[in-house]
Structure 1
């Protein structure tokens, strides 16, 4: 049984076999951990991993606070002067603005025909027949689940394509706004864009079909978002791997259209150039100039290597989904295109903290990579973690309670809650119950960021318009059982990202 560590006075012997690392070795230029001990910082502060141990009690103390709002600042990188971005976050009792960073919508597959170029109708008819055959097979192998899911949620599932159903469904879930992706049916695939141009776009080999299917969905999506532009933010489809010129033209045509706030690119580039090369720079420039957020969404993976083993797919699909993040980051795209924003969606957030720890240390403190330092110099200008919340955002659909606990290490200003409506793996139709269960011990200011404000900042949504909707349908702090006196300490991120002090991380290869 794990036992709570005994606190020792600063400087007391720990009984460890190995001595504490000396300045200039593991921790760089005299570690901040050592300096912290000399400065008399608490034992708990010097060992932040204790905060994550079960049985240690609250990570943070409850503090009385009479303010009705707190100001959160995004810090500038230590080596450069950058303007501080302040956001007033209310700690009052008004309802939360809940923006789902991950919902789905799409027509029944045959209904896309009027939105498709007539030259593709013959191939489209074949695709529709394949989709219906796919459903027949799905009903054979998964009949019980399909019957139960579709039977219990028959009316709500129609919101995938019917706006008159969708709005009351969102209301019942407490959701004011949404970021809409393709593929409304994740069970039998009957609401997929033509030729699979949505979540599996990378598998299309014919550029005619890739762009034709994407444009058909985009035309419909524009109409769908226009039915309630305050609440709906659509993510258009752009198969950039097939043709950069056509992709840039599509992005420019989408710019400024009501309700279109981003594009989704194929998760995998297969035999095409990788996203970290210069091949797609005109695409990233167009997205930065137009303000359209770039996305990858879970769905595609290395299917050929899995065979029928779904466990392999479930384990690996997050890697393939967030792989583009590291391609864009380490190739310097966020420095070259400062207004470029990227969101990785529906692959959780559990993987972020450890990767930020390792990558920050690689660029800020590690002796292990010094032999390659000349090749790392100039790749990026900040520590990797400092791009989160400015250029990088995480659509972490239905975050687990553990992921919510890790919010400060994973990115309190980058994480965005999502319901995944109308997919069965999401929180719909019991989102209110999930929020009541999972956010009881979260401060009001953190909850506002995770549930809506981060998404509003990422996509430039109409906050005033969403406030009107939220006042009518949104859950309140009281309904979530939250204490009005619980506040997030000012150093919560500093404590959670312990490696900055532990290793003395400062950017070495700018």
Structure 2
């Protein structure tokens, strides 16, 4: 039975929630003091080889197809220019101004230099270091363009090539990097499950699935249950990331693409939720990356109201696949890698759930905060309570992705910005008081009791 307190208090702990990794008892107490530097973990960064350099990581039988793929790059770039995706003047300036730092997309030593300069102690590493020319795309377009419409054999081959390289890339400093394995989940289930275990054994820590299944089975289909079970067993969060979209539908109208591009990676969330995937696999963690979190409050409000018996949902059959309201699954198993978190989103954090928001720098993409992350953080978090800032900038990501905060603490003390560096007031009681009403209201559709929460068991 649902705990009535959990139904009315969005911050109440869930007894079935996955336990966060704990430091061994013999470790020193690394809990930060109020003025200590922040332990910052970017939940959304990118790395990838220049595409032609993936050849050694690709099985030899795919080399001919890889040559064909490389030969078609000029056509793909021309299409991007035609759609207006590539701003020629901006691209030239970007590569010229950041030539050295951009090598951090594939050079481990340069990468650590850039992370340190940004004050970022650790990161979650997605594919595609180059978001301007697509010059670091994984073989056969399976990076951020990973989609259910790709050839199953080529898609898996390209994903495995990237995963092999990424495992090497993060192995030098595994405490600072969580590599995200590419997972063409719409392929043969046995091969997909095998790749999960292979990726785990190689040192990778999370899985990125396509945002779009296209003509394959949607994610509510039970054929994927072994995949979700394997991900939970391996403690590897499953994520979607913005990138894939039905671009063939947009013509030359770039505005249509950018209006929808964050919708596609969010869509699997409600497919997994309403079909009972989170109920059947309580150890599964799911995240949506680089899609902001501005869309979540209204969606959560709407889904909760349906489940809890609001007027518009009374005529519907019971949602038998769920045993608790949607917000409880969100708090137990879902997080949002809200890259470049905006002020508007932080104002809604008590509806979203402070612990559900994971900040990201998007390094080394130009739409991210690098190389001025400290300035971005000051503009965004200057009046946010320090305890909440610590959660959103790092501690929640550490729990979601299994980072060892004790190992990272000395580094954070050396490179991390302090609350004072971000312009945050030393008078934290006053800061807390300024947000008291918003925190009290929280998820207003629950705290206002505008429909029978406790009667909807």
Cα separation, 1, equivalents of 2:452 and 2:416: 41
1:178 maps to 2:123: yes
Describe how 1:326-365 pairs up with structure 2 within 5 A.
326-365=270-309
Q: Is residue 127 of structure 1 aligned with residue 73 of structure 2?
A: no
Q: Please say if residues 267 and 324 of structure 1, whose CA atoms lie closer than 8 Å, have aligned partners that are also in contact.
A: yes
| Alignment match, 1:254 | 199
* Counterpart-to-counterpart distance in 2, 1:125 and 1:465: 43
Say if 2:424 is the partner of 1:482.
Answer: yes
The 3-state SS of whatever aligns with 2:213 is coil
Equivalent of residue 304 in structure 1, options 248, 256, 259: 248
**Counterpart selection for 1:372 from 293, 307, 316:** 316
Aligned match of 1:112: 54
- Please give the per-residue CA displacement for 1:446-470, whole angstroms capped at 9, x wherever unaligned: 1000100110010111111111211
Aligned partners of 2:17 and 2:332 also within 8 Å: no
2:27 equivalent in structure 1: none
Q: What is the aligned partner in structure 2 of residue 75 from structure 1? A: 12
> 1:275 is matched with which residue: 219, 225, 248?
219
Contact preservation (8 Å) 1:95, 1:475: yes
Q: Which moved more, 1:330-339 or 1:88-97?
A: 88-97
**Closer/same/farther in 2, CA of residues 210 and 507 from structure 1, 3 Å limit:** farther
C-alpha displacement at 1:505, in angstroms? 5.1
1-structure distance, mates of 2:188, 2:17: 37
TM-superposed deviation, 1:142: 3.0
Matched-pair contact (CA < 8 Å) for 1:239–1:265: yes
Of residues 449, 453, 456, the one that matches 1:506 is: 453
1:216 aligns with 2:161: yes
What is the deviation of 1:73? 9.9
Mapping 1:64-463, distance limit 5 Å: 75-76=12-13, 82=16, 90=32, 92-135=34-77, 142-202=87-147, 204-258=149-203, 260-374=204-318, 376=319, 378-463=320-405
Preserved contact between residue 414 and residue 454 of structure 1 (Cα < 8 Å): yes
Alignment correspondent of 1:495: 441
* SS of equivalent to 2:154: helix
- Alignment partners' CA distance in 2, 1:125 and 1:459: 36
d(CA) in 1 for partners of 2:406 and 2:325?
Answer: 34
Match of 2:316, SS state, is helix
Report how far residue 407 of structure 1 moved.
1.4
Q: CA offsets, 1:114-160, max 9 Å, x none? A: 00000000010111122255446767963211110001100000000
Deviation at 1:365, TM superposition (A): 3.6
CA drift at 1:304: 2.3
- Quickly say closer, same or farther: Cα 1:210–1:157, change in 2 above 3 A: same
| Contact kept? 1:346, 1:396, Cα under 8 Å | yes
Residue in structure 2 matched with residue 7 of structure 1 by the alignment: none
- Secondary structure in 2 matching 1:107: coil
The CA deviation at 1:397 is 0.2
Q: Deviations over 1:164-198 (max 9, x none)?
A: 10001001111000000001111010101000111
SS at match of 1:465: helix
How far off is 1:333 after superposition? Answer: 1.0
The residue that corresponds to 2:407 in the other structure is: 465
TM-score, structure 1 normalization: 0.81
Provide, for residues 278-324 of structure 1, a one-character-per-residue CA deviation record: whole Å limited to 9, x for no partner: 12000000001110110100001122221111100111111111000
Q: Name the CA shift for 1:330/1:83 in 2 (closer, same or farther; >3 Å).
A: closer
Distance 1:82 1:289, change over 3 A: closer
TM-score, normalising length: structure 2: 0.90
Give 1:203 shift: 5.6
After superposition, the Cα gap between the structure-2 partners of 1:402 and 1:151, relative to the gap in structure 1 and judged at 3 Å, is: same
Mapped contact 1:264–1:297 kept (Cα < 8 A) = yes
CA RMSD after TM alignment: 2.4
Secondary structure of 1:255's partner?
Answer: helix
SS in 2 for 1:214: helix
Alpha-carbon distance in structure 1 between the residues aligned to 2:452 and 2:94: 50
SS of alignment partner, residue 125 of structure 2: strand
Question: Is this contact kept in 1: 2:51–2:136, CA < 8 A?
Answer: yes
Shift of 1:400: 1.0
Unaligned runs of 5+ in 2: 1-6, 23-29
Shift of 1:76: 4.5
8 Å contact kept, 2:148–2:213: no
